[in-house]
Amino acid sequence: MTDTPSLSIQLLSTALALGFVLLLAWVGLRLLKRLQAGRAGSASASAPQVLHSVALGPRERLVSVRHRGREYLLGVTPGAINLIDADVRPAPLEATRPAGAGSDTDTGAP
């Protein structure tokens, strides 16, 4: 008489082993996702943020970037990235009036 297990027992043990491996893989992926999510939150706070981008040519751009509370104006070409200015602040928009409107000599009388 042989001591070999039946086919159904072999299939059951193989299915259980496969289930165990899949469970380990699922737990490992969940842990990896949690660890990466924790790192991404702290990394994104210090990541540069593109504020504006203006095309100057087919492959040349002016890019305004904020990084760690400072603003930079960068010139971007296929071969290089050059710092043009640091701490760039947009100029305030001045209220434009039509010519002659609000002048001291204009009384509005005919």
Q: Which pLDDT value is given to residue 47?
A: 83
Q: Which pLDDT value is given to residue 59?
A: 92
35 vs 86: CA distance, rounded Å: 35
Q: Which pLDDT value is given to residue 37?
A: 74
Q: How far is CA 110 from CA 45, 73, 74, 103, 105, in A?
A: 63, 52, 55, 16, 13
DSSP 80: -
What is the pLDDT averaged over residues 9-28?
96
Residue 104 has pLDDT above 80, yes or no: no
| pTM of the full structure | 0.43
CA–CA–CA angle 97, 101, 102 (5° rounding): 105
Q: Which pLDDT value is given to residue 48?
A: 86
Residue 51 has pLDDT above 70, yes or no: yes
